[in-house]
């Protein structure tokens, strides 16, 4: 009898251990993930993000963009932050990121500050998510509770970055297809594109639109042409605001621009060009609260794309390299 009970106890113990392992590897993200392990996390991140945006308002858009470009390549795992080495090829020099993705030094500063208050606890992937939220909020946009608990990838994929991040030349069908493949709806696509209410783009990203396309306001095109020469190689890195009305304030003016045929990128104007998303653009242009609400929903959904949790990945000590 004692032997049978002992075997039962051992079996029960194995089941408990197995359950613990499987549950931890399938752990869900939560808004209070660091409430005990790093209670000062949010204030620490916010202070550094605020300092960076005070120095340069554009940095808020850059930090938000880093989160997009991370999540769209094999999920929100901090892979974008890894530097190339002699034996490792990362995503920073993929076509969508080369000479345009920026803010890595700010992420370094945030990581350093967070490590000072709770070393070895918070992932770089989660820091990206918080920094994106704080950037939106500090520039006048909506606030939301960020879901956390991601771990950092030990690998990256330049090929996936080249293929997975929609190009500024994308048509509407391509945009819808790519977002749908990641579990994001057409409404999510339009709402997330509203992030272009802040930030700037390089001449190389909009040259073809301002010289070759007809669904564009002529005065808008001419103004942009003055700072973006037709010839490739000339003024390639010259910048223009994605939102000509309030380029450093997070609002719904981006959608008004699209209705006026003043979308800077081809992919922007595709959202209002006689297609299935016209009605959503019109609605957001008239109702800023609806845009804000849908943007928050879409950001949370995007942050849920294939996170590494439980025993997967690692908590990097330095966001630029694996431990």
pLDDT at 11 over 80: no
Mean pLDDT of 97-113: 97
pLDDT at 94 over 50: yes
50 is a catalytic site residue? no
Q: 166: annotated binding-site residue? A: yes
User: End-to-end CA distance of the chain, in Å?
Assistant: 50
Higher pLDDT, 259 or 5: 259
Q: What is the pTM of this model?
A: 0.90
What topology is assigned to 170-300 in CATH?
A: Peroxidase; domain 2 (1.10.420)
Mean pLDDT of 115-123: 98
What does the alpha-carbon distance between residue 167 and residue 197 come to, in Å, rounded to a whole number?
Answer: 18
Catalytic hit among 58, 69, 158, 316: 69
Task: Convert the pLDDT of each residue in 125-143 to its tens digit.
Answer: 999 999 999 999 999 999 9
Q: At what angle do helices 288-303 and 58-71 cross, to 10 degrees?
A: 50
CA 53 vs CA 130, 137, 297: distances in Å: 14, 11, 24
Task: Convert the pLDDT of each residue in 283-298 to its tens digit.
Answer: 999 999 999 999 999 9
Q: 197: annotated binding-site residue? A: yes
What is the pLDDT confidence band of residue 236, given thresholds at 50, 70 and 90?
A: very high
What topology is assigned to 38-164 in CATH?
A: Peroxidase; domain 1 (1.10.520)
Q: Which burial class, exposed, middle or buried, applies to 5 when counting CB atoms under 10 A from its CB (0-12, 13-18, 19+)?
A: exposed
Question: Which residues make up the CATH 1.10.420.10 domain(s) of the chain?
Answer: 170-300
CA 87 vs CA 70, 185, 223: distances in Å: 21, 38, 45
- Strand residue runs (E) in 98-249: 200-202, 239-241
Half-sphere exposure of 30 (CA within 13 A, CB side): 9
Q: 246: annotated binding-site residue? A: yes
What is the pLDDT confidence band of residue 13, given thresholds at 50, 70 and 90?
A: very low
Q: Quick one: pLDDT at residue 14?
A: 45
| Residue with tokens 């918080």, as numbered in its chain | 130
| Residue with tokens 């209410």, as numbered in its chain | 197
Task: Convert the pLDDT of each residue in 16-67 to its tens digit.
Answer: 444 444 333 346 899 999 999 999 999 999 999 999 999 999 999 999 999 9
Q: 79: annotated binding-site residue? A: yes
Mean pLDDT of 306-319: 97
What does the alpha-carbon distance between residue 227 and residue 108 come to, in Å, rounded to a whole number?
Answer: 33
Residue 60's nearest CA partner among 140, 166, 168, 148 is: 140
Question: Which residues make up the CATH 1.10.520.10 domain(s) of the chain?
Answer: 38-164
Angle at 89 (CA atoms; ends 171, 60), nearest 5 degrees: 55
129 touches 303 (CB < 8 A): yes
294 touches 187 (CB < 8 A): yes
What does the alpha-carbon distance between residue 176 and residue 151 come to, in Å, rounded to a whole number?
Answer: 28
Query: Using CA of residue 125, residue 93, residue 168, residue 157, what is the dihedral sign?
Result: negative
At 43, is the secondary structure helix, strand, or coil?
Answer: helix
118 touches 52 (CB < 8 A): no
Q: Quick one: pLDDT at residue 27?
A: 62
What's the whole-number average pLDDT of the chain? 93
Q: 73: annotated binding-site residue? A: yes
């Amino acid at each position: 009898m004692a032997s049978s009970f002992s075997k039962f106890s051992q079996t029960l113990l194995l089941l408990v251990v197995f359950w613990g392992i499987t549950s931890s590897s399938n752990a869900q993200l939560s808004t209070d993930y660091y409430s005990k392990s790093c209670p000062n996390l949010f204030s620490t991140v916010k202070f550094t993000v605020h300092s960076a945006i005070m120095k340069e308002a554009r940095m808020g858009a850059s930090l938000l963009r880093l989160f997009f470009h991370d999540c769209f390549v094999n999920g929100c795992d901090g892979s974008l932050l890894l530097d190339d080495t002699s034996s490792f090829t990362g995503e920073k020099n993929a076509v969508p990121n080369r000479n345009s993705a920026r803010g890595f030094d700010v992420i370094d500063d945030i990581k350093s500050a967070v490590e000072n208050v709770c070393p070895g606890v918070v992932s770089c992937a989660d820091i990206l998510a918080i920094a994106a939220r704080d950037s939106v909020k500090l520039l006048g946009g909506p606030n939301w509770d960020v879901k956390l608990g991601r771990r950092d990838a030990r690998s990256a994929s330049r090929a996936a970055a080249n293929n997975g991040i929609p190009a500024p030349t994308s048509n509407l069908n391509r945009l819808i297809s790519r977002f749908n493949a990641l579990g994001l709806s057409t409404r999510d696509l339009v709402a997330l594109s509203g992030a272009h209410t802040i930030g700037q783009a390089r001449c190389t990203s909009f040259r073809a639109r301002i010289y070759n396309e007809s669904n564009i306001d002529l005065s808008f095109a001419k103004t942009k042409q003055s700072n973006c020469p037709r010839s490739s190689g000339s003024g390639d890195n010259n910048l223009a605001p994605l939102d000509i009305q309030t380029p450093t304030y997070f609002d719904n003016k981006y959608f008004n621009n699209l209705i006026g045929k003043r979308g800077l990128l081809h992919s922007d104007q595709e959202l209002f060009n006689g297609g299935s998303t016209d009605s959503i653009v019109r609605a957001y242009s008239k109702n800023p609260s609806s845009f804000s609400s849908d943007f928050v929903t879409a950001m949370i959904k995007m942050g849920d794309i294939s996170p590494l949790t439980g025993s997967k990945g690692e908590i990097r000590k330095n966001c630029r390299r694996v431990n």
